[in-house]
Chains A and B, each alone.
Chain A
Amino acid sequence: MLATAIIVFREVLEAALIVGIVLAATQGLARRVSWVSIGIMAGVAGAGLVAWFADAISFALAGVGQEVFNAGIMLFAVLMLGWHNVWMKRHGREMAQQMRAMGQAVKFGSRSMYMLAVVVGLAVLREGSEVVLFLYGIAVAQQDSPGLMLSGGLLGLLSGAMMGLLMYRGLLRISSRHLFTVTTWMITLLAAGMAAQAAGFLTQADLLPPLVQSMWDTSDIVAQNSVLGRVLQTLIGYADHPSGIQVLFYAATLVSIAVLMRLYGSAPSAKVQPLNAIGT
């Protein structure tokens, strides 16, 4: 029962941390909890589908379908996260002003919210499909009684969700002046970590060269598979011995997002103010 709980916990943890960060980063956007909830539910439904079709996916593309699918999901999430950061930089000040003026959740920003809901959904889908397959495997092998298995799974799920909640609450303690900068950075690091993971999958599929087998080996300090290692893997993209191409993707993502935020992140200039913005 405990073994089940631990394995489910580790999978749920990654998705839960992402949900926590997204919720903190979208403070003030209207109906964000609904958006995120839809993302989670869509992710759960998708997880079931992915688990069901796991071998069809796996055998697609000359046997590397699973790797390409995983890498594709992660790279798509990277694009969404990067887009969100640029968008928020561009409209953040405008949004904060509106919030202060109206004193209530801001109505616009739904496009950015949609993107983040997709990121949440994809994270839940990826981790969820592993949980579904794992639990199915236990049921088939009849290692645990159904009751023990379910309670183990539930325990893992709740513990993982708790970590997401802690992340969210922890972030909210940061003063609102700094929260925007902090969550922007967290999203950038999240994206960079996902890009590195995607590179790992593409190397596994023999679609990308590793370049260097391992850039460093810090598995004695923090093992990637430990709970701390997994938390760091999600939050900052930590890997205990990443390949050269993983480090390259990581750095390229950091730089790309920073550059794009610089290029496109300034608020629209004064001379194109819409007429109805006077007196905000």
Chain B
Amino acid sequence: MNVKYWVMVPALLLSLGIAPPLHAENLPAFNLTIKDGRYSPEQVEIPAGQKIKLVIKNDGPGPEEFESSDLNREKIIKEGKTAEVFIGPLKPGTYKFIGEFHPKTAQGQIVAK
């Protein structure tokens, strides 16, 4: 029975076409910075209907968690580090995100046009 699990799960994953993000280099990148519990810019405009890469830099102090339930994304970024989050393709609209560790001040939105 255990054998079936070890066969089923990888087979399922392979059938869904899992591959490393090889095209990551070609995606348009948009920058976002966190500093002192605030995002800048607080509004990021991206093209709708396209996969993009959000490059988030944390200037500190302390770690932050980029979180958006509108976009189904969450990522922890330590102080001084930069992380990438893939977003889209999105329908036109406004999608909010927050910094979970500073929820009152770290708020922003992505506007897909």
Task: List chain A positions with a Cβ less than 8 A from chain B.
Answer: 3, 7, 54-55, 58, 61-64, 66-67, 75, 79, 82-83, 86, 130, 133-134, 136-141, 200, 202-209, 213, 219, 223-225, 239-243, 245-246, 252, 256, 260, 264
Contact = CB atoms under 8 A, between A and B. Distances in A.
B48 to A, nearest CB: 11
Interface in B32-54: 37, 51
Interface in B69-85: 69-70, 72-79, 81, 83-85
Contacts of B7: none
B112 to A, nearest CB: 10
Interface in B49-68: 51, 60-65
B91 A213 contact: yes
A3 B104 contact: yes
B76 A204 contact: no
Contacts of B100: 7, 134
B28 interface: no
Contact of A224 (B17, B19, B69): B69
A241 B70 contact: yes
A140 B62 CA distance: 6
A137 B21 contact: no
Contact of B21 (A3, A64, A86, A223): A64
Query: Which bracket fits the contact residues of B?
Result: 35 or more
Nearest to A203: B72
Contact of B62 (A137, A209, A245, A260): A137
Contacts of A223: 69
23 contacts: A7-B100, A58-B77, A58-B78, A63-B84, A64-B21, A79-B5, A79-B9, A83-B5, A133-B63, A133-B78, A137-B61, A137-B62, A137-B79, A138-B101, A204-B72, A205-B86, A206-B24, A207-B18, A239-B72, A240-B69, A241-B70, A252-B12, A260-B1
A242 B69 CA distance: 9
A137 B86 contact: no
Contacts of B76: 54, 58, 66, 130, 133
A66 B63 contact: no
A150 B85 CA distance: 32
Contacts of B73: 200, 204
Given A54-B76, A243-B72, A205 B81 contact: no
Nearest first, the 6 A-B pairs at minimum CB distance are: A137-B62, A206-B21, A206-B86, A140-B62, A141-B61, A224-B69
